[in-house]
Structure 1
Amino acid sequence: MERPIFIVGCPRSGTTLLQLMLHAHPRIAIPPETRFLLPAYYRRAEWGDLDEPAHRQRLAEWIVTTRGHKFDDLGLDPAATIAEMAAAPPTLGSMLGTVLRAYAASHGKPRWGDKRPTYIRYLPDLIRMFPDAQFVHLIRDGRDCVGSLKQMSWWKYDTAYAINTWARAIDNGHEAGRRMPPGSYYELQYEHLVADPAAELQALCAFLDEAYDPSMLRPHELASVTPRRKTHHARTQGEIDAAAVRSWESRLTGAEIRLAEHVLGDRLETYGYDLTGPGRPPAKDLAHYYRTAAEAKQDDFRRRARDGWRRIVTEEDVACRLSTDPTLMPS
């Protein structure tokens, strides 16, 4: 089977490490983060009827030539990729999948996919485009994710937003996982992955219906596929270790720990993360968090409502049709 594989999770949960582990597999290629799947989906009205060759050509050129899409990081020939996309089955998922499949082919591998933490908020959209995909949700202690996000120069939000980002990642994963067919959604924890990588990767390979390969234990040998400008992935340059586990103890203030454990407590305990029990946070901190969470929820609701209306009025087909197994093709 050549089912697509998508790695998702809260930002700073270790998804780049997992990407490199899977990319080390002799049959799987997962590229550095791309930035064209979701924009293409939400702007799909602009491309018109993809049965028209000119429309497919325009979409292909937009994907390849738009600077923010990170196409250059894939190392593919632009003209050849445009031609391949234009010749793909006339659905959005097929054209997008063609780029990822071309990346895998450039590495001599049959299975393709993508990795981007943000995808955890858009799983229903990805399922519409890739109905036969398998989704791997990497989960890390929410306090560690928050502590790491605080240190990122590209993170422009406050601690409350970071805490809510982890909560939404967990909730979105659970919601989508309940709706997916069996064998489509898999969770694993970062702490288990770095403590016993061989066992965790063997279990993951069983889910993916792939034979485990020991080369997956040496992701640092492939770290060069991650663009060097991304210095925040420096840990992937070395061998697997658990040094970053519980880093929140030194990165978060007492007030931040109280807030995180109060609002995330049930979710944290579900995954076996012990709470320190430092007490209830101040009312002003809780009020700010719940305002932040409510605003984020409203944003998600408006986005889904707009997209839901478009799907009702257009009845469009966006599903990828590149699968070699007819039983996995959408009807």
Structure 2
Amino acid sequence: MLLGVNIFNRINSIKYQFQVLYELQKNNINQYDPNDSSFIFIGGHQSTGTGLMRILLDIHPLVRCGPEPIVTRELLRYRRHLDTMSDLLSQSGITENVLDDASAAFIATVIQEMGPKAPRLCHKDPSSFIYLEELADMFPKAKFIHMIRDGRAAIASTIQ
């Protein structure tokens, strides 16, 4: 009896998720705002399970992860470098908020254009997680998943 109830609850959960997806598609929800909570960032050290987490999230009908957008890592590195020139930039009228907004818009556009539209977009790049503070400033309502694994297992996985 308990198994039947569990299966029934799972089926209802899946039906609900597809109903939400149908409503979103029916209402043509395809505009993304970097300040909303539709972004998920996955990061961590190499071989900690970030790829597996991306696959698991990508299976969900409301989430799209896609491949690793390498260009965002370079933008984040350059954005951090611009902090050292803040005095010069502020004299030109370019504030930190302007840089954050422009960087967030670029990253959001890259993630959006890498695949089909979805209510929740995922960015998986283990090495960009060293820019967690910048990402949190640019996407204040985003969700962050930091993968951690026993170092011995991560090294063994990398060697294989």
TM-score of the superposed pair, with normalisation by structure 1? 0.30
| Structure 2, unaligned runs of 5 or more | 1-35, 83-88, 95-100
Q: Structure 1 residues 142 and 133, CA, compared in 2 at 3 Å: closer, same or farther?
A: same
Q: How does 1:317-328 map to 2 (within 5 A)?
A: none
Are 1:102 and 2:97 counterparts?
A: no
Contact 2:37 2:141 in 1 (8 A): no
Q: What corresponds to 1:34 in structure 2?
A: 69
2:53 partner amino acid: L
Query: Which of 38, 41, 44 is the aligned partner of 1:9?
Result: 44
**Matched residue of 1:122: which SS?**
helix
Q: What corresponds to 1:93 in structure 2?
A: 104
Are 1:135 and 2:135 counterparts?
A: no
- CA apart distance, 1:127: 1.2
- CA apart distance, 1:31: 1.7
Distance in 2 (CA, whole Å) between partners of 1:2 and 1:126 is 13
Are 1:22 and 2:93 counterparts?
A: no
Tell me the percent identity.
32
1:118 partner amino acid: S
**Matched residue of 2:38: which SS?**
coil
Q: Deviations over 1:104-144 (max 9, x none)?
A: xx424121121011133221121122222111122222210
Q: How does 1:31-70 map to 2 (within 5 A)?
A: 31-44=66-79, 45=82
Q: Deviations over 1:288-325 (max 9, x none)?
A: xxxxxxxxxxxxxxxxxxxxxxxxxxxxxxxxxxxxxx
Q: What corresponds to 1:249 in structure 2?
A: none
- Give the paired residue count: 111
| Structure 1, unaligned runs of 5 or more | 52-89, 152-331
* RMSD of Structure 2 on Structure 1 (CA): 2.8
**Matched residue of 1:137: which SS?**
strand
1:102 partner amino acid: E
Distance in 2 (CA, whole Å) between partners of 1:94 and 1:18 is 25
Contact 1:2 1:110 in 2 (8 A): no
**Matched residue of 2:67: which SS?**
coil
Q: Structure 1 residues 130 and 2, CA, compared in 2 at 3 Å: closer, same or farther?
A: closer
1:126 partner amino acid: L
Q: Structure 1 residues 115 and 127, CA, compared in 2 at 3 Å: closer, same or farther?
A: same
Q: How does 1:1-331 map to 2 (within 5 A)?
A: 2-44=37-79, 45=82, 91-103=102-114, 106-151=115-160
Distance in 1 (CA, whole Å) between partners of 2:73 and 2:149 is 24
Distance in 2 (CA, whole Å) between partners of 1:101 and 1:108 is 7
